[in-house]
Structure formats: C-alpha cells, structure tokens
Structure 1
Amino acid sequence: MAMVAAYIDGFNLYYGMKSTYHRKYMWLDVVQLVRQLRPDDQVVVVRYFTAIVKNEPAAAANQTTYLDALNAHNGALVDAHVGRFKIKTIGRCKVCRQDFQCTCPKTYQSYEEKETDVALGVAMVEDAALGVGDTSLLISADSDLMPAIRSVQKITPGRGIYVALPPSNQPRFRSIPGAGVFHIRETALRAAQLPPTVSHPSGRTLSRPTKWR
C-alpha cells in the first residue's frame, strides 16, 4: 500500500470541471477524490491550492464556504493554501483596438492568479525531500508544473509520481517519463461529493451553494 501526498491545482481543476460539467461537481470532497483515484493507497495529506476571486462577493463567499466545509469534513488531511489575485491590465482596448494607453476613455482590467502554482511546486519538492508519504499525486493539466515533477524525480528517484488530468479541453501532458498520467473520470467526481450540509466545529452549518447544485 502506497502512502499518497496529493497536490491539487484548484483553479485548473475548477475550470476543467466547469467546462465539461458546469457546476455539477463543484462541492467536491478532494480527499475522497484522491481515494477514488488511488483506491488501494492511503492518503497522507491533500494540499489544495487556490485563490479567492476579486470583485465577486457571492462567488468569494461560495469559495470561503467550500474551503471551510473541506476543512471541517476532513480535518488535518486537508491543507488549503490560499494565494491571491493581481490586477492585470488588458493589452488592447476593446473599443478602439489601440494599446491600453490610448485616448479612448473605456478601460479594461482582469485578474491574474498569483503564487499558487509556485507554492504547489515548492510543496511537492519539499514533501519529497522530507519524506511525506512515498507517492506524489498531482491533479492539474498545467505543464508549468513539469519542473517540480522533474525535481521530485531527481531528489527521490524511487518515489511514485502520478498526474491526474482534470476533465476539459485543456492542453494535456502526453506523457511524463517515470510518471503515470491518467484522466479524471466523471464517476470519480460523482462519488467524491461532500454531504449537502457540513457541520463546522464552531456550530455553523455549511451548505452547498445553490449555484453548485
């Protein structure tokens, strides 16, 4: 039986699920998902990396409720890392098609997720070096995490490494030498949902958001 430490790229998984299943499986128990993906192994820790959205109070509240529910339901097995969003200026104005520093009064901004990919990669390498579990499971289709995978392989050549790809049309890892790559199926997502309501240690009841049903 392998001892699995899992690392979840929260937004990569979110957008993969949303593009394929809309919000049907957003109330996801990430620990149970790892158990579905590695049924013969023991879960040591699931590190979940995300960021709270900006300027969308309802969506931010849903995220916070979800993170609280994950921690309340799974205790120390879940280690949530919350990054941040940085304001990003869109390069060209959508009105006059000139650079953003044009004379057109219409301006556009978006938000770029920061720190989460770096934090995830660092955690993977650190856990491998410290001997947290003997197997790493990465849930992401982001090829920017390849350097972290290679570092884990270099530091701990005997460590098992698996990459579970979220359901979507995102670019896929075709193959990774020395690692197993597979797709997350709908059956695993369906079987890994949190209860409709979760009791928080503070006495609060955390309910699945209406939009996520």
Structure 2
Amino acid sequence: MERVITYIDGFNLYFGLRESGFRRYLWLNLVQLSTRLVRPSQKLVYAKYFTARIANPPDKQRRQAIYLEALSTLSDLQIFYGKYQLNQRKCRSCGYTDRVPSEKMTDVNIAVELLSDAFQDYFDTALLISADSDLCGPIEAVLRLFPTKRVVVAFPPSRNSAELTRVASAYLRIGRAALAGSQFSDEVVKPDGYILRRPTSWR
C-alpha cells in the first residue's frame, strides 16, 4: 500500500478551527484525523505535529498543555516545537506600542522533516495540513527531486492558499464530518493512569 506521513501545522489548524466557530472540535485526535484523510489504497505511517508552547494567558496555556499531553499518548504521532514570542508593534496613528504574539520555526521545521523523510524514502505521499504558502518551496523541491512522490495539501477550515494549490500534487479541504469523527474521548487516560479531561470551553 502507498505510505503516507502527515505534517500538521498546529497553529494554522487551530486558528482555522477557531475562525470557523469549530471550538467543539479542538479536542482533536490527529492520528484519527490523518487516517480519515487517507484513501483506501493508502496506509498512514506516521503523523507529525508542529507547534509552539504559548506563555500567556494562563487559561489558554493550561488548555494547550492538556491537549499536548493528550497528543503525547498517541504512539503514531511526534510533536515538534518551535518558538512562541512577543514582538513589539507600534501604532502609526497614536504611537501606542503593544506586544503581539507570533509563532516561529514551524514552517522551517516542517520543511526539514518533509525533505528529510523524502530523502530517506519514508513516504510515497506526504499529506500537509496547512495553508501556509511559505511551504511552496519545500513542496516544489520534493516533487522535483523525487518525481514518483506526491505532496497533497489538506486545507484546514477557513484556510486556503492559491500558491499551495498550484504547486501541490493535489489538494483537499478538511470538512466538519472528518473533524467530528476524529475527537478524543472526553477523558484520555495516560499510561501512568492520570486522566486528562477535555477543556470545558471545547465542549
């Protein structure tokens, strides 16, 4: 069967769900979602999730920590961390300066893993869950260097990229049914017996 690895842009997926009003689907089992997105002739080999730990506010930090712990119970998923930092932004009209959060390194980390896995022949098809057009370069590189491999883009809800559509082997959109059918149980039991519960605001 055709081997598939998924590469999941965590913040792109999260904000797509938020903007679509899909908070109830944030308790998302990414291996189940990946499995739902592959075709019958394909087999999911692994899922790779790219994110960064946020620092504030405390309630969001707590929800993210619980979710990351739930993801860590999945044997077929690996988490790659970038950086989350606050950048100063100055208003041109009034001169007020505030700090805007931004996530760094996700696109670089995805590019490194995508190319590394292609060179080591770990997949036949890479399934990229993102709408970040910065990833056009590594996609084009994989397809140029390995003509028999495919890179398929899966757009999160409320996300799209004409550039990715143009360079990818194919593309699809992640719908409500796939999200609804890929939720963790309300309680996830860790190997040590500790119980993780779905955050109340994600119900």
Tell me the TM-score range normalised by the shorter chain.
Answer: over 0.9
TM-score under structure 2 length normalisation: 0.93
Counterpart pick for 2:94 among 83, 93, 97: 97
- Of 75, 80, 105, the match for 1:115: 105
RMSD: 1.6
Q: Is the alpha carbon distance of 1:66 and 1:174 closer, same or farther for their aligned partners in structure 2, counting shifts above 3 Å?
A: closer
CA distance in 1, matches of 2:52, 2:80: 8
Q: Count how many residue pairs are aligned between Structure 1 and Structure 2.
A: 202
Q: Distance in 1 between matches of 2:129 and 2:2?
A: 17
Distance apart, 1:188 and its partner CA: 0.5
- The SS at the match of 2:72 is helix
Q: Secondary structure at the match of 1:201?
A: coil
Structure 2, gaps ≥5 residues long:
none
Structure 2 counterpart of 1:184: 174
For residue 115 of structure 2, what is the aligned residue in structure 1? 125
Q: How does 1:7-156 map to 2 (within 5 A)?
A: 7-40=7-40, 41-72=42-73, 74-75=74-75, 77-92=76-91, 97-98=94-95, 106-156=96-146
Identical counterparts, % of pairs: 36
Give the 3-state SS of the residue equivalent to 1:175 in structure 2: helix
Deviation of 1:172 after TM superposition, in Å, equals: 4.4
Letter matched to residue 20 of structure 1: S
Larger Rg: 1
Is 1:199 matched up with 2:201?
no
Write the letter of the residue equivalent to 1:197. E
* Structure 1 outlier segments of 4+, above 3 Å: 169-174
Query: Secondary structure of the residue that 2:137 maps to in structure 1?
Result: helix
Name stretches of at least 5 consecutive residues in structure 1 with no aligned partner: 99-105
User: Structure 1: which amino acid aligns with 2:51?
Assistant: T
SS of residue matched to 1:87: strand
User: How big is the shift at 1:69?
Assistant: 0.7
